[in-house]
Structure 1
Amino acid sequence: MTTLPAAPSALELDRRRYRRRQTGRSVAVAAVSTVAFAVVVWLTIVNTPGWARVQSTFFDPAVAARAWPRVFQGLLTNLTVLVFAALGVLLLSILLATLRTLRGPVFFPLRALAAGYTDLFRGMPLIIVLYLVGFGIPGLGFTAERPPAALLGTVALVLVYSAYVSEVFRAGIEAVHPSQRLAARSLGLSHAQTLRLILLPQAVRKVTPALMNDLVAMQKDVGLISVLGAVDAVRAAQIETAASFNFTPYVLAGLLFVLLALPLIRLTDWYTARIRRREQMGAVV
């Protein structure tokens, strides 16, 4: 026998109508206040004495149109470096986090090596690592020709960001209750199986928002590979600026980076809010 769901009461219907009215009123007030604020800011900037010069120097549509093909082609280089760097960071950071969570005195050298690695590269500025890798590795003479600048930049990004992301993974692993590890070992799972099947899945779920934020930061720092000579979006904008004596290509490159980051930023916010709602479900807030 199928039981039909109970119809909402008149009081509940009144509450729903009230919430809909409140939501509509809030949206209208937010829209009006945002438009008013934007108009005030725009009028303030436009009426400044130097606006005409700034507009022609930084916001020239003709210069932006001429620079677009080269800057966009450079952005594709940034995307390629980002994809390979993200994969390298993922693999190396999981390895480092695993080494730092090993138990027993016999693994002390590995734990010390992983800790020294994270301390070194978390304390060193990325741009210095780029210079050391970009000019130091070719100087060793491993290859007859100099490796591509984009490849050297990818290596530097992996070295630096692996130190940060490994600590995020380690924090997630240590946040899993010790009873999970003990229960897995009592069932006969080895340390590697416990880490792979029990700890890592729970740890990744806990630290996903932090990992997504690190990816956003790395997407921005990919532009620093231009210091090694790679013709990415930033370097292409520099070339176009030198040719036209106008800074609009830099603004164009910056807007492209922002547009590239916005979907991931919004996805991070949505996922963080989703986790918070799930954790607070049934609680009194």
Structure 2
Amino acid sequence: MSASPTSPKTEFPWWLAVAVILALAAALFIATSNLYAQVFATVAKGIGITIFVTVVAFALASAIGLGVALMGLSGSRLMRQIARFYVEIIRGVPILVLLFWIAFAGAPAFVAAWNALTAPLQSAGFFGELLVRDVSLLWRAIMALTIGYSAFISEVFRAGIQAVEKGQIEAAKALGLSRSQRFRLIVFPQAIRTILPPLGNDFVAMVKDSSLVSVLGVADITQMGKIYAAGSFRFFETYSIVAYIYLILTVGLSLALRALEKRLRRQHEE
């Protein structure tokens, strides 16, 4: 039975058409307005930092999250309990609080521990003492986002891996494949189709949450907007541009991820 014209599969994305028209109209207005063009030029300087923070933090969070997920699925009770402890504790702390803790408590503690462990090498003249100011606020912010999101991403990986049929894993065991071979050749290629949609949602969410790094003075989009607004008192214009840029980034990423999901689905059906 063919799908009806109003079914979700064939329904025309009117919301997207309206969004594109509004985005183009806003771009035209910004290009023809001296004030908005100036605001955009200032705020846009933070796009590179926002993308850098998001990509690096997400890559690190995905690697840690996968490791925690595998620990949670291991045969060792100790590993499972450590993974559960990590996930539940980290998920219970707001990202902003974690950001402050890493920046102003975790970084000094790390520096003190590093200096204590490497004191003999420092005395021998191999390198100097590490200072707290040597750990940039940018990397403190990246580590906070990495730790915060790794707990959520680990649950995404765990659910995707557990969604693979156990019969296929048993068949792989019967073929003599090792644990690592089963994961690399059988489990992960199938799990990624389940993992990708929520993982993409976490990536888009991290783009938005990266704005929190502005509280540390990191020169991202939000921080550049705060600086401009504080100096010009053009709050409406500035934060309208900030919202516009974030919308372009997040909606564009969402559409790209949706297209990738459809492509993977078609490949699986073929």
Corresponding residue of 1:72: 44
Q: Give the distance between the partners of 1:279 and 1:240, measured in 2 at CA.
A: 49
> Is the aligned partner of 1:95 residue 2:67?
yes
Where 1:135 maps in the other structure, the secondary structure is: helix
- Aligned-partner residue type, residue 95 of structure 1: G
Q: Which residue of the other structure, out of 113, 118, 139, is the alignment partner of 2:108? A: 139
Q: Distance in 2 between matches of 1:86 and 1:276?
A: 24
Question: Hey, what's the Cα distance between the residues in 1 that align with 2:189 and 2:268?
Answer: 17
The separation in 1 between residues aligned to 2:42 and 2:131, in whole angstroms, is 30
**What does residue 115 of structure 1 align with?**
84
Partner of 1:81: 53
Matches within 5 A, 1:133-212: 133-140=102-109, 141-142=111-112, 143-146=130-133, 147-212=135-200
Aligned to 2:251: 262
Shift, 1:277, TM fit: 7.3
Q: Which position in structure 2 is the counterpart of 1:44?
A: none
Identical-residue share of aligned pairs (%): 32
- Unaligned segments of structure 1, at least 5 residues: 1-14, 20-25, 39-59
Letter in 2 for 1:118: V
Equivalent-residue separation in structure 2 for 1:234 and 1:198 (angstroms): 43
Distance in 1 between the 2:59 and 2:107 partners?
23
Q: Deviation per CA, 1:193-238, whole angstroms, max 9, x where unpaired?
A: 2122211111112221111111111111111101112111111101
Displacement of 1:268: 3.0
How many angstroms apart in 1 are the aligned matches of 2:218 and 2:50? 9
Tell whether the 8 Å contact from 1:168 to 1:207 is kept in structure 2 after alignment.
yes
Pairwise CA distance, 1:188: 1.3
Cα distance in 1 between the residues matched to 2:198 and 2:68: 17
Q: In angstroms, what is the RMSD of aligned CA positions?
A: 2.9
Report how many residues are paired.
229
Query: Runs (4+) of structure 1 moved beyond 4 Å?
Result: 271-281
CA distance in 2, matches of 1:116, 1:222: 25
Q: Distance in 1 between matches of 2:260 and 2:216?
A: 36
CA contact (8 A) 2:160 2:194 kept: yes
Distance 1:242-1:179 versus aligned 2 partners, 3 A rule: same
AA matched with 1:152: R
Amino acid at match of 1:186: A
Structure 1 residues 135 and 208, CA gap change in structure 2 (3 angstroms): same
Deviation at 1:191, TM superposition (A): 1.7
The structure 2 residue matched to 1:128, chosen from 97, 122, 140, is 97
Q: Is the 8 A contact 1:63 1:246 kept in 2?
A: no
> Does the 8 A contact of 2:107 with 2:140 survive in 1?
no
Show the counterpart of 1:43: none
Contact 1:85 1:157 (C-alpha < 8 Å) held by counterparts = yes
Correspondence for 2:240: 251
Could you say which residue in structure 2 is the equivalent of 1:56?
A: none
Residue 63 of structure 1 contacts residue 244 of structure 1 at CA under 8 Å; is this kept in 2? no
TM-score by length of structure 2 reads 0.76
Q: Distance in 1 between matches of 2:137 and 2:35?
A: 27
Report the CA distance between 1:239 and its aligned residue: 0.7
CA deviation digits over 1:72-116, x for unaligned, max 9? 11121111111111210121111111111112xxx1111111111
Gap runs ≥5 in structure 2: 6-10, 23-31, 113-129
Counterpart CA distance in 1 for 2:265 and 2:169 is: 25
